[in-house]
Structure 1
Amino acid sequence: MRRGLDHVVHLVRDIDAAGESYDLLGFTVGARNAHPWGTENRIVQLPGFFIELLQITDPSKISAAAPGHVSFGAFNAHFLATCGEGFSMLAFEGTDAAAEKGILDQAGFGGFETVDFSRKAHRPDGLDVEVSFSLAFANDPASPDFSAFICTQHHPENFWSADFQRHANMVSGLKGVVLVADTPVEHQRFLNTLCDVPVLRARDDWYVAQTPRGEIDVMSRPLFTERYGVAAPKGPGLRVAAVRFASSGAEELRRALAARRMVEETIAGMVVVPPRAVAGATLVFEQTESKSA
C-alpha cells in the first residue's frame, strides 16, 4: 500500500523557544503535550502532515533500547548528544501496524516490537480528547542517526483540526522532505519499502519518490548545499535535512524574515530559512499561486 508522509520530529533543547521561532515564521503552534517516556511535544499541523517539536523533559523516564525494542526517548537523547538539534525522525502514514511490521520484517528492515501509546490532546474548542497511535519502526543499518517508522492513528478525528492548519505565513500544505546521504542509491530499497512507491534516479547524486502526500528527495550533501545554500547535516547514512512547504505568501514572508535576519536570500523562487534560525532545522517555503488569483 502506497504510504504518504505523516510527520517529522524536530528535536530541540527548549520547546518553548522553538515554538516562538515557528511562531515568528508565521505558523500556528499547538500547546505542550506529555509522553509517557520523558518527552513533551508541540505540534505544527498541515493538512495530513505535521511537524512534531520535541523536547526531552524527564530523562529518568527514558527506557534503554534493547534487542527488538526501539526506545523513542533513548534514540532522541542520543541524537541530541551526538548530532545536536534538528530533524531526528521521519514518519509515514499507516493503517495497520501489525501488517506493516510484517512488511518491514520481511524486507530485513524491521525486527522491532510495535509501540502503542495514547495521550490527552487539547482541542481549539477547549475539549480534552484522547489521541492514540501505533508505530512500526524501521531500521537502515547504514544510518545510525536516522529513525523512521510507520504511524497509525486510531482516533484521527480527535487529532486533526482545521483551526490548527491556518497559518499567517499562508502555508497551505507540504511539498516534501529532503534527505541527504553520501551515496543516495544505497538507501533506495529501504525508502522504497517504507513508502511503497518507486524511488527513482534523477541523477547519480539525487533520487526522488512521489508519495501520496509529499515528495521525498534524497540527495548528496554537496548537492543539497548547492541547491539550498546551507550546510547539510553531517554523519553516516541518511539524515533528514529539510522540510519543504507550499505557500502563496512566500515573497511576503521573505521580506519579514530578512528584516529579522532569519533568512539570507531567496533561491530560485524559494525562501530558505537556515538551521541557525530554527534550532538546527532547514525550512523551505516555495511560492504557489493564491487560490483567488
Structure 2
Amino acid sequence: MKGIDHLVLCVDDLDEAVARYRAMGFTLTPRAIHPFGTMNQLVQFDGSFLEILAVRAPTEVPEHGAHHFSFAAFNRDFLDRGEGFSMLVLDSDDARADQQRYVKAGISRFEPFDFQRKAKLPDGEEVTVGFSLAFAAHEAMGRAGFFVCQQRAPQYFWKRDYQLHPNGALGIGCALMLGEEPKAYADFFQAFTGEEPQRLADDEIAFSLSRGGVRMFSPAAWARHYPAALAPDLAEGPCFAGFVIEVSDLGRTAEALDDGHIAYLRDGGRLIVAPDEAFNTTILFEERR
C-alpha cells in the first residue's frame, strides 16, 4: 500500500513562506536547489514532508514534451494563477513499474523522470540525494498535479533533527480536494493510489493509504465537514483545498501559533489556519488518535 510521500506547496516568495511556516511552529530544512529552475525548503516528518517550492530561474525551466511531464513548468504555470497546494505525491518502491501501471490504466503518457540535487545534513555536511518520479494526470484536473517519488538515497534524506517541531506536528493526516462531482474522479484516484475507495458517494470520496489519505468533497460536503473553513473557488475545475496535520497536543499547537502571531480558528477538535495565512491553502491541525 502506498502512502503520502509529500505535498507540494507552491509560493512566489520562498523566504516569506519559510518565515510564515516557522512562525507556525514548524522546523524547516536548509534550502535546496533543483537543476531545473526551482528551489525548496521542507517541513519533514517521519516518512512524509511538505515541500515549500518556488521558481528560482524561469529561464532554466524545461517545457512539457509529448512524453515528458515537466515538474518545474507545471508549478511555474500554477503560480501564474496564484499560490497554493499544487501537487500530491505518493511514495514508490519502483517508479518505473508505477509508470507502466499508470500508462496501462490510461492516466499517464509520460516517461519516468530521474534527478539529483545537493542536500545539507544537520551537521552541515553536503551530500547528494536522488529521486525517480512517475507522473499521472487527469484532463479535468489541470490545476492539480500527481506523481509518485522513489528515493535513491533515503539514508541522507530522512533526518530526525528535521522532524522535531515546536508546534508538536507529527505528520500529514490527509490531503483535501474540492470538486463539483467527486464520484466522477474515483476511477482516477483508484488507479493512482492502487486502492479502492473507503467512501464513495456523489458528494465525497475517500482513499485510505498506509500513511495519510486523500479525500475529495463537493462544496456542500466541504461545508458539512469543515463549516469554519473557507472553500476555494472551482472556476478552473477541481483543486487541492488544504491538508490535515496531525499533532501530539492541540494546546501546544495553539501556543506555537499564538507565539508566531498566526491567526487561527478553533472548530471543535481542530485548529484551522485560513488560506490568507497559508498561501491559499487551508491547514487543519488535529490531534493524532
Name the TM tier (shorter chain): over 0.9
CA offsets 1:182-210 (integer angstroms, 9 cap, x no match):
11111111111111111133543111111
Matched with 1:254 is 254
Paired residue secondary structure (1:192): helix
Runs of 5+ unmatched residues, structure 2? none
**Quick one: which amino acid aligns to residue 41 of structure 2?**
R
Q: How far apart, CA to CA, are the structure 2 residues paired with 1:276 and 1:231? A: 10
CA offsets 1:98-124 (integer angstroms, 9 cap, x no match):
111110000000110111000010010
Residue 210 of structure 2 corresponds to residue 205 of structure 1: no
Matched with 2:74 is 75
**Quick one: which amino acid aligns to residue 45 of structure 1?**
Q
Give the stretch that moved more between structures: 226-235 or 205-214.
Answer: 226-235
Matched with 1:284 is 284
Give % identity.
Answer: 34
Flag the 1:179–1:39 CA change in 2: closer, same or farther, 3 A.
Answer: same
Matched with 1:60 is 59
Matched with 1:51 is 50
Paired residue secondary structure (2:15): helix
Q: Please tell me whether the aligned partners of residues 144 and 240 of structure 2 are also in contact (alpha carbons under 8 angstroms).
A: yes
Paired residue secondary structure (2:252): helix
Residue 243 of structure 2 corresponds to residue 243 of structure 1: yes
1:77 CA drift (Å): 1.2
Runs of 5+ unmatched residues, structure 1? none
Q: Please tell me whether the aligned partners of residues 29 and 42 of structure 1 are also in contact (alpha carbons under 8 angstroms).
A: yes
Matched with 1:268 is 268
Give the stretch that moved more between structures: 109-118 or 221-230.
Answer: 221-230
1:230 CA drift (Å): 2.7
Q: How far apart, CA to CA, are the structure 1 residues paired with 2:257 and 2:83? A: 21
Q: Please tell me whether the aligned partners of residues 188 and 199 of structure 1 are also in contact (alpha carbons under 8 angstroms).
A: yes
Matched with 1:153 is 151
Give the stretch that moved more between structures: 236-245 or 270-279.
Answer: 236-245
TM-score w.r.t. length of structure 1: 0.93
Q: How does 1:1-293 map to 2 (within 5 A)?
A: 2-82=1-81, 84-201=82-199, 203-228=201-226, 229-235=228-234, 236-257=236-257, 262-288=262-288
Q: Please tell me whether the aligned partners of residues 23 and 261 of structure 2 are also in contact (alpha carbons under 8 angstroms).
A: no
1:56 CA drift (Å): 0.6
1:259 CA drift (Å): 7.2
Q: Please tell me whether the aligned partners of residues 263 and 271 of structure 1 are also in contact (alpha carbons under 8 angstroms).
A: no
TM-score w.r.t. length of structure 2: 0.94
Q: Please tell me whether the aligned partners of residues 23 and 259 of structure 2 are also in contact (alpha carbons under 8 angstroms).
A: no
Paired residue secondary structure (2:40): strand
Q: How far apart, CA to CA, are the structure 2 residues paired with 1:7 and 1:265? A: 25
Pairs aligned (count): 287
Paired residue secondary structure (2:89): strand
Paired residue secondary structure (2:26): coil
Flag the 1:258–1:201 CA change in 2: closer, same or farther, 3 A.
Answer: same
